[in-house]
A and B are shown apart, each in its own frame.
Chain A
Amino acid sequence: MKKIANKLYIALVFIFLYAPIFVLIANSFNESKSRTVWTGFTFDWYVKLFNNEVILKSLGNTLIIAAVAATISTILGTAAAIGIYNMKKITRSLVINITYIPIMNSEMVTGVSLMLLFVALHIDLGYLTLIIAHITFCVPYVILNVLPKLRQMNRNLYDAALDLGCNPWQAFRHVIIPEIMPGIVTGFLMSITYSIDDFVISYFTHGSTSQTLPITIYSMTRRKVSPEVNALSAIIFVVVLVVLLIMNFNDLRRTKPKKKKEAAR
């Protein structure tokens, strides 16, 4: 009885989470422009979507900005983490606390503060300001993912590499980097995701020609009816689903042998 109640509860929450998305997806195949009357099945909205230059251009912008911002963030953040790791305690905690600000603060305040800076420096809002803004909120995620990996590492490894004849660069390249690689990869992936998804900070720092996809979506939803948004949602849903399935599959494959070993013991 209790089990059925539990299952019912879980089902209800997931219906709440998914029903709106499925309604959107169903509507993307609806011939009628109205969102509530079903007149027939069509792929027209998808065709229109792929012929919509504004959407395609902003999609391109989003991907380019995410790639550039995540790459620079990863390099800047990894170097920062190594530096922070070697700082004295007081400076270290000060720097880490400031690094936390963009994560803890409201996105809106971060966006507004960056906009004020760009306006004060007379930098025209555009690609440059978007990339700077995205790096600013991505770097903290890289640092906070790399730092724990550095702490887990054996401090003597680097010295051992030097004793065995590596120069500092080689020791860094062949000893430290492989040790902290998982943190770097997670930081990079998080940066990409946050950059692609960001709306609020981009909203305050974009120029009229440098629209990202979320900003285009925003201007489309301002018009009451736009079935292309439905089609876009359906595509994004499928892409996210595939990415998550691949990640989950890899994860299961990696953890399964370990589980067996535990059972054997």
Chain B
Amino acid sequence: MNSKSKYVAVPYLAWMVIFIVVPLALIGVFAFTTTVTCDMEGNMLTDEEIAEYEAYCEEEGIEPEYTERTIFTVQNILDVSKYSSVLINSAWLALIATVICLVIAYPLAYMISRMFYSRQKLALMLVMLPMWMNFLLRTYAWMTLLEKNGLINKFFGLFGIGPFDMINTQGAVVLGMVYNYLPFMILPLYSVMTKIDDRTIEAAQDLGANGLQVIWRVVVPLSMPGVATGITQVFVPSVSTFIISRMLGGGTNMLIGDLIDLQFLGNAYNPNLGAAISLVLMVFIFLCMSITNQLDNEDMEGVLL
């Protein structure tokens, strides 16, 4: 192939610019602008002036006429801070879900990676199967279980305890996140752990490491890239979900995702504010990613040394 073959990428480059770069730029544009009402000469009107003008029009029996102008503003970004409790809550719940996923997935991935080859395949298939079902159905399944007279409360009822309020709580939202994204933690962990040679572990044991030391000083450092990938793959969808919180949180536990949805397709229609929140969310996600990448790289260097 020669340097001319690079031109076959041109259709994609055009696509990439129009449908990846421009839309992201639009989010930036919307986030930093707002639409103001102006008179026919294009002068900005204050709320009082509009009220005055409308009263005048009503008296005279004419239709009020306006033009609209888009102006630069940082107000939207400042307004995002009004919702800081929602942002903090989202990040907090996503963090808890990520930690729980890591704690559940880490031993499981290790155990699977030490099984016989055919067993490994079966176990992986069982991990992936729920992942292939639509997440709406998986979340819906928990609605059934967590309800006031749902199966779990019936089960507790057999022992004469409960019923507990489980659905529409923050705990239910975290549970939904853990349930939906657990496979995304297991798979990357498994894929790095399966590459750890049995002989490496045996060598550590021969050199006098006990079980805990083998895990902590050999397996954990070698699996760091998987941990970093797993954390990103669980945290990013958790922090920006809007369906799990709506279905299991009952709409009372609003997350960033719900807030954005509300600005674009909900009652609080305000695409400028929505874009500002999206921008904040995006910057936050990429910041988190660069931190996890850092963690991954540093540890890799440590291993190489």
A105 touches B19 (CB 8 A): no
Given A82-B5, A232-B137, answer yes or no on A116-B132 (Cβ-Cβ < 8 Å). Answer: no
A43 to B30 CA separation, bound complex (whole angstroms): 51
B118 touches A80 (CB 8 A): no
**A87 / chain B contacts, CB cutoff of 8 Å:** 6, 9
Given A112-B264, A132-B19, A199-B136, answer yes or no on A106-B285 (Cβ-Cβ < 8 Å). Answer: yes
- Residue of B128, B144, B275 contacting most chain A CB atoms (<10 Å): B144
B136 touches A82 (CB 8 A): no
A106 touches B239 (CB 8 A): yes
Query: Which residue of chain B has its CB nearest to the CB of A240?
Result: B132
**A240 / chain B contacts, CB cutoff of 8 Å:** 129, 132-133
A76 touches B22 (CB 8 A): no
Pick from A86, A176, A237: contact of B3, CB under 8 Å = A86
Pick from A16, A117, A135, A197: contact of B26, CB under 8 Å = A117
**B271 / chain A contacts, CB cutoff of 8 Å:** 116
A209-235 toward B: CB 8 Å interface, digit per residue (1/0)? 000011001100100000001001100
- Near A by CB (< 8 A), chain B positions 1-53 give 1-3, 5-13, 15-16, 18-24, 26-27, 30
- Near A by CB (< 8 A), chain B positions 244-281 give 247, 257, 260-261, 264-265, 271, 274-275, 278, 281
Given A21-B133, A139-B12, A248-B121, answer yes or no on A36-B23 (Cβ-Cβ < 8 Å). Answer: no
Asked if B127 is at the interface (CB within 8 A of a chain A CB), the reply is yes
A91 to B275 CA separation, bound complex (whole angstroms): 29
A197 touches B134 (CB 8 A): yes
- Residue of A99, A114, A213 contacting most chain B CB atoms (<10 Å): A114
B6 touches A86 (CB 8 A): yes
B9 touches A80 (CB 8 A): yes
Asked if A32 is at the interface (CB within 8 A of a chain B CB), the reply is no
Pick from B15, B107, B179: contact of A139, CB under 8 Å = B15
Interface stretch among A5-13, A50-58, A63-71, A183-191? A5-13
Describe A's contact surface by its main secondary structure: helix
Interface size class for chain B? Answer: 35 or more
- CB-based A-B contact count at 8 angstroms: 220
A79 touches B8 (CB 8 A): yes
A39-59 toward B: CB 8 Å interface, digit per residue (1/0)? 000000000000000000000
Given A117-B19, A233-B133, A241-B129, answer yes or no on A108-B240 (Cβ-Cβ < 8 Å). Answer: yes
A204 to B1 CA separation, bound complex (whole angstroms): 41
Pick from A20, A106, A255, A259: contact of B179, CB under 8 Å = A20
Asked if B99 is at the interface (CB within 8 A of a chain A CB), the reply is no
Asked if A24 is at the interface (CB within 8 A of a chain B CB), the reply is yes
B118-130 toward A: CB 8 Å interface, digit per residue (1/0)? 1001110111111
**B136 / chain A contacts, CB cutoff of 8 Å:** 199, 214, 217-218, 221
B6 touches A114 (CB 8 A): no
Given A104-B289, A218-B243, answer yes or no on A244-B13 (Cβ-Cβ < 8 Å). Answer: no
A229 to B136 CA separation, bound complex (whole angstroms): 10
Asked if A207 is at the interface (CB within 8 A of a chain B CB), the reply is no
- Residue of A95, A106, A132, A248 contacting most chain B CB atoms (<10 Å): A106
**A127 / chain B contacts, CB cutoff of 8 Å:** none
Given A14-B126, A82-B9, A83-B6, answer yes or no on A113-B26 (Cβ-Cβ < 8 Å). Answer: yes
Asked if A177 is at the interface (CB within 8 A of a chain B CB), the reply is no
Query: Which residue of chain B has its CB nearest to the CB of A101?
Result: B20
B179 touches A16 (CB 8 A): yes
Shortest distance between the CB of B245 and any CB in chain A (Å): 12
B77-112 toward A: CB 8 Å interface, digit per residue (1/0)? 000000000000000000000000000100110011
What would be 18 A-B contacts, judged by CB atoms less than 8 Å apart?
A9-B108, A13-B104, A17-B126, A76-B11, A82-B1, A86-B6, A98-B16, A99-B16, A109-B27, A109-B281, A109-B285, A114-B19, A199-B135, A217-B140, A218-B136, A221-B140, A244-B132, A248-B122
